[in-house]
Structure 1
Amino acid sequence: MDEQNIFRRELVDVQGVPVFWGMAEEWSQVETFEARPDDLLIATYPKSGTTWLSEIVDLIYNNGDTEKCKRDAIYNRVPFMEFIIPGISSGIEQLQNVQSPRLVKTHLPVQLLPSSFWKNNCKMIYVARNAKDVAVSYYYFYQMAKIHPDPGTWEEFLESFMAGKVCFGSWYDHVKGWWEKKKDYHILYLFYEDMKENPKCEIQKLLKFLEKDMPEETVAKIVHHTSFDVMKQNPSANYTTLDNGEMDHSVSPFMRKGISGDWKNKFTVAQYERFEEDYKNKMKGSTLKFRSEI
């Protein structure tokens, strides 16, 4: 299939959630995916610290051995389950060839997750990041990762984001759906802003959740190795190993800023006010609270 046919195609709805065309075409494969009881699922809405968390968890699984964690690109160490480009790549196929215990990445909202994860009572880690920073980061990502449709102007993209007309649907539904689900399942729910503010404390939560013990100095090593500046320079974590046709880092690097509060550089006062109003409505009744800066 030539590049023209793969990139900048419109999203396709699966059960009311917009996703990439390839995923929609092969949806039955995703739906029937067989989780294993010792799978660890890393779930996020896009641009919420997925790669960061994946790198931390891979280091925990490898006892802090940073060389081992350079064995391959992050998207091969933690395959993106539902990402399928027919005839070219499939997260499902990739995972079938991975030995247990597997690390599995997903951006699916809770209602679309293959039921085998619930049946097997798999452990899951969810990271949520404040909506305004996600919107800004997602806009730049849409520009550089050409599997997405064209984002249009920032103004247009922000409207699409608020309406849930972006890949993986509504941020509001996504963070709330996973938040509710943690009452009944093995889900550790983390916040990007907490990870930024005190990475060591959040890594200790992960260790406890994963029932692993680690010496202080190994934890310190993981904190250092997964800091934004170190990861940005690490080809096995920063996506520079992908073909420029797929992700154009000259438009915007995959690892752009990695800070909290960058939305202030992008939102106009009017956009901010409109966003906050809409946010209040959509988050009404939820016990979920976010910090939009540290």
Structure 2
Amino acid sequence: MEQIEDGSRPPLVSVKGIPLIKYFAESIELLKNFQVWPDDVLISTYPKSGTTWVSEILDMIYHGGDQEKCQRAPIYDRVPFLEFKAPGSRSGMETLQEIPAPRILKTHLPLSLLPQALLDRKIKIIYVARNAKDVAVSYFNFYKMAKVHPDPGTWEEFLETFMTGKVAYGSWYQHVLEWQELSKRHPVLYLFYEDMKKDPKREIQKITEFVGQSLPEDILDRIVQQTSFKKMKENPMANYTTVPNGIMDHSISPFMRKGTTGDWKNTFTVAQNERFDADYEKKMAGSDLHFDMEL
């Protein structure tokens, strides 16, 4: 990955009503030609919901828990990011051309922008949902350090932007709800970040079975250990420190910051929390999705 040439933090671009990072918006048209392989597995999440965690888990499952093989390249080369595009860097689609089967792919796209071929071929999808409050705080910090985003402004300003769905990838509410709806008619394993924090082994076992793999107990235990937040934060092949400062400035905030549940309480004011709760109740009315806001 080379240095990004345009550090101007361009404004988001709307594609079918969804705000996207300018460079990513440019790649959407190219995705229409995406060639799906039958054994592809797609990881889908709203940003800051455990994408890298599940990517590392799946790569380890496919390599039988072999840590050395999972050190072969940075995670963004092992698990191509479908819509990724940035000046001076290989796009996600270009990275994809070099990946042998079975391929693990990742995306943050809402359903309206997902390549139709992925749905037509009924490929397996692992979706991870994380509680909205922790996502908002994590996304704010990510916006600050990842320079492909517009300037987030103050926390108060960003929270308003998040609640109105004007952040990159649009509304968190729409995202988690529409992917849950898809899980009723498509092979989607719908997981919760908070469940993964509570019992990682149980959730990793679910992923293993979902992708048709079988691993002995000791290998599962090794994967749990190697994909802990602490281990991944120290792992340059997983923590994005290999990305140039022009794209991600880790001196502002590390890509892997805290990885906890309930950290939102250190950022939200009482008034912000009350307002968020009232808005949340309206937007999630009628949904049976339940999120743990703290553990």
Is the deviation greater in 120-129 or in 206-215? 206-215
Map of 2:175 onto structure 1: 174
Map of 2:100 onto structure 1: 99
* Aligned partner of residue 202 in structure 2, secondary structure: helix
Map of 1:287 onto structure 2: 288
AA at the equivalent of 1:152: G
Q: Structure 2 length normalisation: TM-score? A: 0.97
Question: How large is the RMSD of aligned CA atoms in angstroms?
Answer: 1.4
Shift of 1:120: 1.0
The size of the alignment, in residue pairs, is 294
Q: Spell out the pairing of 1:196-215 with structure 2 (5 A cutoff).
A: 196-215=197-216
Shift of 1:244: 1.4
AA at the equivalent of 1:244: N
Shift of 1:5: 2.9
Structure 1 CA distance, aligned partners of 2:94 and 2:222? 33
| Change in 2 beyond 3 A, CA 1:145/1:87 | closer
Shift of 1:111: 2.0
In structure 1, list runs of 5 or more residues that go unmatched: none
Map of 1:251 onto structure 2: 252
Structure 2 CA distance, aligned partners of 1:165 and 1:60? 36
Map of 2:278 onto structure 1: 277
Map of 2:266 onto structure 1: 265
Shift of 1:31: 2.7
Q: 1:32-52 CA distances to partner (integer Å, 9 max, x unpaired)?
A: 322211100000000000000
Q: Spell out the pairing of 1:6-155 with structure 2 (5 A cutoff).
A: 6-85=7-86, 88-155=89-156
Structure 1 CA distance, aligned partners of 2:22 and 2:158? 19
In structure 2, list runs of 5 or more residues that go unmatched: none
| Change in 2 beyond 3 A, CA 1:124/1:7 | farther
Shift of 1:287: 1.5
| Change in 2 beyond 3 A, CA 1:269/1:55 | same
| Change in 2 beyond 3 A, CA 1:229/1:86 | closer
Q: Spell out the pairing of 1:210-249 with structure 2 (5 A cutoff).
A: 210-249=211-250
Shift of 1:112: 1.3
Q: 1:75-124 CA distances to partner (integer Å, 9 max, x unpaired)?
A: 00001001112563310121122211110010001221101111111000
The answer to whether the 8 A contact 1:7-1:148 is kept is: no
* Aligned partner of residue 89 in structure 1, secondary structure: coil
The answer to whether the 8 A contact 2:5-2:87 is kept is: no
Structure 2 CA distance, aligned partners of 1:292 and 1:98? 37
